[in-house]
Amino acid sequence: MQSDLSPARRPREGFRPTQLEAKGRRVDTGAHVTAAVALGETVVTAHGDGALRFFTGDSPPRTVAAHRGAVLAMAATGGEAVVTGGDDGRFLRVSVDGTVEDLAGFAGAWVDCVASHKATGLLACSVGRAVHVWRQGATSPEMFGHPSTVGGLAFDPSGKRLAVAHYGGATIWERGGRRWKSTKLVWAGSHIGVTWSTNGKYVVTVMQENALHGWRLRDKANMQMAGYPAKPRALDWAGDAPHLVTSGADEAICWPFDLKEGPMGRSPLCVAGGGKQLATMVRALPGHPSVLAGFQDGAVLMSELDEFAEARVLRGSTGVEVTAIAVTDSLSHVLIGDANGTVLWAPLRTGGENAWPV
């Protein structure tokens, strides 16, 4: 909001459709795609009508009615399954075979965030200010309280620690034997998402004020990663010399975590630009130093993590915001979901002529 006496104008341009789109399957579900995760060669989408949809190979997707309202969060978990949280107050485990298991119910509340750690079998979900954590095989959860509503949840790579984002910073819960102990990471403002660096040494949160905030856990040193025109809601880690890839600008913003000091005092790498639209979703290409970025106008670009790399258009502009992207483990297929519930499921590994250079 500003008091400028001259109205702002923003030009609109778009990318034309690609071969990859033409070869893919388009499914109109009519319900906002709220998340997508890969389980090996299957990609699961979660929707605003409470359904999950499973896409595998050439067969049509299978629909599983899971929640009664919108699916608010989803994470992959062991045993070819996902865990989901919904605005019906339920925390579910849904398997590839379609089995729906009720893990917990919170009447009259929303299950906003979920997290899973495959190796340890730990599961977590947040309901308001509380986080509920299940150890593998446990029937009842442990409950952690926080000063305000939880905005994000993430287990560290070892599964020993859980990061919880909320107002005023984040809380790190660390498991030692039978007990969990908490440490506070303080930074004013509202923190609405959280992730761990792949080496477990940094915690980074998404902030309400169009910025990321990071902490080096060793000494709780603060890292401010600001300058975004919008909230960098989507995060992923890409490459072996890992970069934290984020949405929230008109290209994918990739913060280097390859050196000892992390991104401190360094500039991010900016790739997959050129569309003059805000990136709304980003995903690393599994096993490769490449990223996929989805934009507000529906376009999806792919680029290597190299500032001189030429981005390619995987999917042209549709006019509808990209809300989910996932790629199967073998890179056989890419899935792109949008705010209107349209899903594109397309073969990815069929040669470079599928995609346009930007």
Partner 1 sequence: MTSQVPVTVLTGFLGAGKTTLLNRILTEQHGKKYAVIVNEFGETGIDNDLVVNADEEVFEMNNGCICCTVRGDLIRILGGLMKRADRFDAILVETTGLADPAPVAQTFFVDAEVAEKTRLDAIVTIVDAHHLGTQLEESHEAAEQLAFADLVLLNKIDLVDTESLSRVEARIRAMNPYARIIPAERCGAPLDTVLGQNAFDLQRVLEIEPHFLEDDHAHEHDDAVTSISLHADTALDPEKFQAWFGRLLQENGQDILRSKGILDIEGEPDRYVIQGVHMLMEGDFIGPWPDGEARRSRLVFIGRGLDGMGLAEGFAACKAT
Please report how close the Cβ of residue 86 comes to partner 1 at its closest, in angstroms.
10
Q: How far is CA 288 from the centre of its chain?
A: 18
DSSP string, 69-116: S-EEEEEEETTTEEEEEETTSEEEEEETT--EEEEEE-TTS---EEEE
The one among 72, 185, 281, 313 contacting partner 1 by CB under 8 A: 72
Q: If binding is defined by CB under 8 A, does position 231 make contact with partner 1?
A: yes
Residues 124-143, one symbol each (x = binds partner 1 by CB under 8 A, - = not), give ----xx--------------
The one among 341, 343, 344, 355 contacting partner 1 by CB under 8 A: 341
Asked if 289 and 281 count as a contact pair (C-beta separation under 8 A), the reply is no
Q: If binding is defined by CB under 8 A, does position 36 make contact with partner 1?
A: no
**Residue positions counted in the chain:** 358
Q: CA end-to-end span of the chain, whole Å?
A: 32
Q: If binding is defined by CB under 8 A, does position 158 make contact with partner 1?
A: no
Torsion angle of the four alpha carbons 217, 222, 225, 230, in this order, in degrees rounded to the nearest 10: 90
The one among 13, 22, 26, 30 contacting partner 1 by CB under 8 A: 30
Please report how close the Cβ of residue 70 comes to partner 1 at its closest, in angstroms.
4
The one among 18, 34, 205, 328 contacting partner 1 by CB under 8 A: 34
- Exposed / middle / buried, residue 129 (Cβ in 10 Å: 0-12, 13-18, 19+): middle
Q: What tokens were used for 143?
A: 């409950």
Q: If binding is defined by CB under 8 A, does position 106 make contact with partner 1?
A: no
Please report how close the Cβ of residue 110 comes to partner 1 at its closest, in angstroms.
6
The one among 27, 37, 42, 47 contacting partner 1 by CB under 8 A: 47
Distance CA 295, CA 303 (A): 14
Q: Binding residues for partner 1, per CB under 8 A? A: 1-5, 7, 30-32, 34, 47-50, 69-70, 72, 87, 108-110, 112, 128-129, 148-149, 151, 167-168, 187-190, 192, 207-209, 230-231, 319, 339, 341
